[in-house]
C-alpha cells in the first residue's frame, strides 16, 4: 500500500475499484446495498462496502482510511442525510485529500436525492442519480468514470 506523501498510487495493485460512501439510514442504505453495489459488482467492478468489507473489531476510522487508500475511487452517494454525518464527511475529506496529494481524481459524487451541495462538492462535476427512470443512463456514465484511470 502506498503511504501518504509517497507519490502516486499504482492503480493496478489496489484491491478495489470503488469504495462506496453512503449514509446508514433509509432509503439510502437499502438503495446502495440492494441496487447500486450489486449492479457495480455485476458489471465487473471490485467494490468495497462497509457492511461486508470492514473488519469486525477494527477501529471504524482506520477502516474508513483503509477503504479510501485501497480503492481507486471513493463514490459519495449524497443525500441530505449524507451531509449530516460526520463519518461520511470524514470519508469524503480523506478521499479529497488523497486525491490532492497524488494529483488524482479520487472522489466521485453521485446525488441520490435533490440536495444543496456544499461548496467542495459543487466545485466538481457530479452525477445526478435522483431519477429512477434515468438510472440505466446515469449508471452507464458512472461505470465509464469508474473504469477510467485516475
CATH number at residue 40: 3.40.50.10140
Structural domain contains residue 3: no
Determine, yes or no, domain membership for 7: no
Average pLDDT, rounded, for the chain: 92
Q: Tell me whether residue 53 is in a domain.
A: yes
Segment 48-96, tens digit of pLDDT? 999 999 999 999 999 999 999 999 999 999 999 999 999 999 999 999 9
Number of structural domains in the chain = 1
Instruction: Answer yes or no: is 30 within a domain.
Output: yes
Annotate the chain with three-state secondary structure.
CCCCCCCCCCHHHCCEEEEEECCCCCCHHHHHHHHHHHHHHHCCCCEECHHHHCCCCCCHHHHHHHHHHCEEEEEEEECHHHHHCHHHHHHHHHHHHHHHHHCCCCEEEEECCCCCCCHHHHCCCCEECCCHHHHHHHHHHHHHHHHCCC
Structural domain that includes position 96: 13-147
Amino acid at each position: 500500500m502506498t503511504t501518504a506523501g509517497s507519490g502516486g498510487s499504482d492503480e493496478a495493485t489496489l484491491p478495489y475499484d470503488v469504495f462506496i460512501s453512503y449514509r446508514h439510514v433509509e432509503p439510502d442504505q437499502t438503495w446502495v446495498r440492494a441496487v447500486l453495489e450489486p449492479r457495480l459488482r455485476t458489471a465487473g467492478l471490485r467494490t468495497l462496502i462497509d457492511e461486508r468489507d470492514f473488519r469486525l473489531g477494527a477501529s471504524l476510522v482506520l477502516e474508513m482510511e483503509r477503504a479510501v487508500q485501497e480503492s481507486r475511487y471513493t463514490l459519495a452517494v449524497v443525500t441530505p442525510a449524507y451531509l449530516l454525518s460526520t463519518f461520511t464527511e470524514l470519508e469524503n475529506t480523506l478521499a479529497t485529500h488523497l486525491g490532492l496529494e497524488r494529483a488524482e481524481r479520487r472522489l466521485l459524487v453521485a446525488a441520490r436525492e435533490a440536495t444543496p451541495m456544499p461548496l467542495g462538492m459543487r466545485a466538481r462535476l457530479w452525477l445526478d442519480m435522483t431519477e429512477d427512470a434515468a438510472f440505466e443512463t446515469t449508471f452507464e456514465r458512472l461505470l465509464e468514470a469508474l473504469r477510467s484511470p485516475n
